[in-house]
Structure 1
Amino acid sequence: MAASANRSYGAHRHSSTDFHSRNIAIAVAMALPGDTVLYLLLPMHHAVFGATLAQAGLLLAANRLIRLLGYGWIAKLYMRKGSRLTCGLAVTAASLCTLGYATLAGFWGLLMARLLWGVSFAALNISRQALITAEPAGASRRSGRSQSIVAVGPLLGLLGGAFLSQWLGPRAVFFLLTAVALLGLLFALQLPAGAVGPYPKSPKKFRWPKPLHLWSFVQGLALDGFFTTSLSVLSAQALPENAALAAGAVMALRYLADIVLSPLGGYMAGRWGAENQLLGLSFAAAIAMLGIGLEWLWISAVAVVILRSLVIPMVSPIVAMQNPGPARVEALAACTVWRDLGAGIGPMLAGALLPIGSNLILYTGAAAMIAVSVIACYFELKK
């Protein structure tokens, strides 16, 4: 009798965790397209937005850089106030940011919108990862499914944004994306309310980054930042007459790969071990980045987005397994901070170096950094 009651409670908790992780994923999917489409259109049409190419790189990086300062107090807010309030505020702010991309002109106005978006996404990201790992059983599966759901929003945004920008111009598209972001409130308000628990106190001293932090930093710099930004510029050079459609198609493939392959990545992590899959797939991504430098642009770009989609769901379960219980929130935030640091630097490097540097040298350097981070993780995870 007691065993039956325990099984019933476990099944209910498992179902509740699945329900909440799905709702937060849908809310994030609706809030993201404004940011994603900006990555596509701003580097190509920076003059229309009142910015130089170098300023465009800074604007694309600014949202990540502000998160470096904000993740600590956002994690505390999440622990004290819960998912519903945190995500409701974040979705509302994300809608205002997207509206700003349509209406604000010049570097400083857009910078304010990017900074607000950075804080908003930090809240959504912490909530999503915490809800995914709230129950250890099935965390890898939920991580893959959540990433798949999240990718639907940017995918549809890129395809629609690339097409509509040809007809309406690069700024009018963001009015439509503002309405989409507001719909995310319907799902954010279904998340659990109330405090999650006390935020663990950490010693106030400098701590050297762990190998997984180094890996997160390099993934952010090379794949999330430099690759995403440079792809838009390289597409414009390769196909000048259809640059927006070409870059939009390849960037949309990244999210299509997330939809199709992230659940597979979560399954692989649960069946064969997240650590082994993370190491092998990351090293393959380094080879694909080298291929771009060797002028195998399209096939290598496709390989990068596929490998990235497979490896993404493996990080959160590894971190949660190493830091069980409420401590996982702080650990997940730390990994995200390092990834955002790299992803914030990446667009600035792309904006500064692409006009003057050789693609071979730049992409070989990115590939070498990925390979070094994989080797460091190997020795740490195999201890």
Structure 2
Amino acid sequence: MSTPDRDNRNAAITLALTLPTDTVLYLLLPLHAAEFGVTLAEAGLLLAANRLVRIVGYGWVARLYAGRGTRAACLMAVAASVASSLGYALAPGVVMLLAARLAWGLAFAALNIATQDMATRLPQGAARRSGTSRAIVAAGPMLCLVAGALATRWVPAPMVFLGLAALAACALPFAAGLPAGQGTDALGKGGPRFSLPGRMDVWGLIQGITLEGLYVFALAILAAAAWPEAGALAAGAALASRYLAEILLGRPAGALAERFGALRVLIVVSLGSAAALAAIGLGALWLGVAVVVVLRGILQPLPPPVIAAANPGPARVPALARQATWRDIGAGLGPLLAGMLLPVVPVPALFLGAAGVLALASLGLARPSRP
């Protein structure tokens, strides 16, 4: 295996082993808030906290990544993810859990930059490596969401995170295998600065609001309503289906992007996702849900190679981090908007509106850039 492929694999496995500490909390905290010593309102704050800290912390993390290098940044991130998972298990109450969430938010920022950096460091084969990376990363949450839901039948929900802490610790040797030394691309740039969004940033914001926020919020509710006697397992299976699609379709998506161009494939798939949201709004619920799950699996690997191609050299890592920041803003706003609008806006109008906004953002990417 070539060095770029090996580094890409190690970064992806590191995130795959640590990410379940976050995704399983999204499943278990709202359903078992009392066991964690918080109210349902406090649970919502805790689930949003890791995204909020990333919005303000991506620049700081990127500077750390540039100055200390991939290996050191990821080793620190793995240690933080183990500590946060232990915090979920052993430190109930909103204050301690909030500290754990903030630690995880910064850890994920470093790991997310690393996976995108390793996939796109060499332009040749970037889309293929990005697809492989997404497939590997998705395996951890997919398996642990179902296992975590099943485990709550026998152990208290917080104790599930003791096992996830041990799983995250298994990422240490893979993080240690990443390149040492300073990060070349971001070095001297001081990391990304929060600035007015470009077209990919706007698309990331809208994608976060619609496909990461509104859709996921509605999917969990629909799954739990369909199987009320097994709410946690139903919601876990529904959320796991998103990651299964990434596992099955990540590599084919990378191959499509290599053949036809990552931007072209991204626009087509994004427009298809908008059409699927419109189908949900028009009453074709499960057809629309199935199409979104499939297209999201294709879509996930595509933004990094698009951004890398548009921002070569030292601009690449800051651009990747900036787009991730705008996507986090959207993913944080999505559930909040859904919670406020669902009681007052008809569901068809909400989904049709989301489809229209996503379609406009997708078409905006097709406009030629001004010199």
Tell me the TM-score normalised to structure 2 length.
0.92
Partners of 2:202 and 2:355 in 1: how far apart? 14
Match of 2:275 among 279, 287, 290: 287
Give the drift of 1:356: 5.7
Q: Which amino acid in the other structure matches residue 187 of structure 1?
A: F
Cα distance change on mapping 1:355 and 1:248 into 2, 3 Å: farther
Partners of 2:200 and 2:224 in 1: how far apart? 35
Q: Which amino acid in the other structure matches residue 323 of structure 1?
A: N
* Structure 1 segment 1-383 matched on structure 2, within 5 A: 15-197=2-184, 199-201=187-189, 207-354=195-342, 358-380=346-368
Q: Which amino acid in the other structure matches residue 68 of structure 2?
A: K
Cα distance change on mapping 1:368 and 1:59 into 2, 3 Å: farther
Q: Deviations over 1:3-48 (max 9, x none)?
A: xxxxxxxxxxx81111111001001000001111112222333343
Residue 169 of structure 2: SS of its match in structure 1?
A: helix
Cα distance change on mapping 1:350 and 1:47 into 2, 3 Å: farther
Residue 168 of structure 1: SS of its match in structure 2?
A: coil
Q: Which moves more between the two structures, 108-117 or 144-153?
A: 108-117
Long gaps (5+) in structure 2: none
Contact 1:211 1:380 in 2 (8 A): no
Partners of 1:372 and 1:354 in 2: how far apart? 22
Q: Which moves more between the two structures, 43-52 or 148-157?
A: 43-52
Give the drift of 1:286: 1.4
Cα distance change on mapping 1:294 and 1:240 into 2, 3 Å: farther
Partners of 2:85 and 2:339 in 1: how far apart? 22
Q: Deviations over 1:211-239 (max 9, x none)?
A: 11110011112222232233222322232
Partners of 1:203 and 1:165 in 2: how far apart? 41
Q: Which amino acid in the other structure matches residue 138 of structure 2?
A: A
Partners of 1:174 and 1:28 in 2: how far apart? 16
Partners of 2:73 and 2:111 in 1: how far apart? 8
Cα distance change on mapping 1:227 and 1:42 into 2, 3 Å: farther
User: What is the number of equivalent residue pairs in this alignment?
Assistant: 370
Cα distance change on mapping 1:359 and 1:58 into 2, 3 Å: farther
Contact 1:91 1:184 in 2 (8 A): yes
Overall identity of the aligned pairs, in %: 48
Residue 196 of structure 1: SS of its match in structure 2?
A: coil
Give the drift of 1:206: 7.8
Partners of 1:242 and 1:258 in 2: how far apart? 25
Cα distance change on mapping 1:54 and 1:218 into 2, 3 Å: farther
Tell me the TM-score normalised to structure 1 length.
0.90
Partners of 1:36 and 1:157 in 2: how far apart? 8
Partners of 2:161 and 2:278 in 1: how far apart? 35
Residue 336 of structure 2: SS of its match in structure 1?
A: helix
Partners of 1:40 and 1:202 in 2: how far apart? 36
Partners of 1:281 and 1:116 in 2: how far apart? 34
Q: Which moves more between the two structures, 100-109 or 153-162?
A: 100-109
Contact 2:35 2:156 in 1 (8 A): no
